[in-house]
C-alpha cells in the first residue's frame, strides 16, 4: 500500500506520511509534520509544521490543524473544523509592529484516541479532547473535554456521554451511574464526573 498525493496538494519534502495515507486536492502539509498509516487528508486541509497525527486519522475537507497540535490514532476532524494555537492572537505588538514567529509561543490542541470533532467546531488551544469524546458540530471548545464526553454549544459543555461507537449512552434506570451503549451493549461506569469502560 503506497501513499497517494493528488497533484494539486502541497506536501513539504520534510513531512512524513505513513503507508496507505491519501492526500486530496489543494491540501497543504507543512515541514516536519508527521502522519501515521492509513490517514485520509481531505480537500483544502491545512496541517501545520511539526503537527503529529496518528494512524487512521480522517481530516475532512478544509479542516485547519495548526502546530503544535497532536492527534492520536483514529481521530475524526470534521469539515472546516479548526484547531487553534494562539491563546492571545494579535497581528501586531502593542507598538503596532507586525508580530513575527518569535513574538509568541504556540500552544497545542491535543486530541486523544478515537475522538471526533464535528463540522465547523473550533478547539481553542490549549485544550485536550479526551478518548472517544465527541464535539458537536459548531461547538467551541475552551476547556478540556473528558473521555467519552459529548459536548455542544458555545462555549462547549457536556450534554451527555458517548461510547466507542459514537452513539449516545443511556443511563440504566435500575442502576444509577451505569451507562450502556445502544449499539454494542457495552457498559460504562460514571464516578465523580468521569466515565470508565467496564472491562
Q: What is the per-residue pLDDT across 96-146, written as a single tens digit (0 to 9) for each?
A: 999 988 888 999 999 999 999 999 999 999 999 999 999 999 999 999 999
| 8 A C-beta contact, residue 134 and residue 94 | no
- pLDDT digits 0-9 by tens, 38-72: 999 999 999 999 999 999 999 999 999 999 999 99
The string over 102-120, giving b where at least 16 C-beta atoms fall within 10 Å of a residue's C-beta and e elsewhere, is eeeebbbbbbbbbbbbbbb
Cell of 68: 503544535
* pLDDT tens profile 26-35: 999 999 999 9
Q: What is the pLDDT of residue 77?
A: 98
Please check whether residue 188 is in contact with residue 180, taking contact to mean a CB–CB distance below 8 angstroms.
yes
Kindly state the DSSP code that residue 71 receives in the 8-state scheme: E
| CB 144 within 8 Å of CB 125 | no
Distance, CA of 96 to CA of 44 (rounded, Å) = 32
Reported CATH class of domain 4-161: mainly beta
Q: What is the pLDDT of residue 181?
A: 95
Q: How far apart are CA 171 and CA 197, in angstroms?
A: 14
Q: Give the residue from 10, 25, 126, 152 showing the smallest Cα distance to 69.
A: 126
Cα dihedral 81, 84, 87, 93, rounded to 10, equals -120
Mean pLDDT for the chain?
A: 96
For residue 161, pLDDT over 80 is answered with yes
In a 10 Å sphere around its CB, with 0-12 CB exposed, 13-18 middle and 19+ buried, how is residue 61 labelled? middle
pLDDT the model gives residue 104: 86
Sheet strands side by side (includes 4-5): 4-5, 22-23, 40-41, 58-59, 76-77, 116-117, 134-135, 149-152, 157-161
- Cell of residue 146, nine digits: 473528558
Amino acid at each position: 500500500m503506497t501513499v497517494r498525493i493528488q497533484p494539486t496538494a502541497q506536501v513539504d519534502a520534510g513531512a512524513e506520511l505513513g503507508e496507505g495515507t491519501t492526500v486530496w486536492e489543494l491540501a497543504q502539509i507543512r515541514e516536519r509534520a508527521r502522519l501515521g498509516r492509513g490517514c485520509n487528508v481531505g480537500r483544502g486541509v491545512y496541517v501545520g509544521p511539526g503537527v503529529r497525527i496518528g494512524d487512521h486519522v480522517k481530516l475532512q475537507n478544509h479542516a485547519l490543524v495548526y502546530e503544535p497540535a497532536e492527534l492520536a490514532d483514529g481521530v475524526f476532524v470534521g469539515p472546516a473544523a479548526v484547531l487553534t494555537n494562539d491563546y492571545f492572537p494579535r497581528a501586531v505588538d502593542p507598538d503596532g509592529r507586525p508580530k513575527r514567529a518569535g513574538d509568541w509561543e504556540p500552544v497545542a490542541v491535543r486530541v486523544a484516541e478515537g475522538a471526533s470533532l464535528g463540522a465547523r467546531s473550533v478547539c481553542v488551544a490549549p485544550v485536550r479532547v479526551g478518548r472517544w469524546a465527541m464535539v458537536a458540530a459548531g461547538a467551541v471548545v475552551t476547556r478540556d473535554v473528558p473521555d467519552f464526553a459529548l459536548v455542544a454549544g458555545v462555549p462547549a459543555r457536556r450534554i451527555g456521554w458517548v461510547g466507542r461507537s459514537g452513539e449516545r449512552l443511556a443511563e440504566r434506570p435500575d442502576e444509577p451511574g451505569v451507562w450502556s451503549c445502544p449499539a454494542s451493549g457495552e457498559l460504562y461506569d460514571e464516578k465523580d464526573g468521569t466515565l470508565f469502560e467496564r472491562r
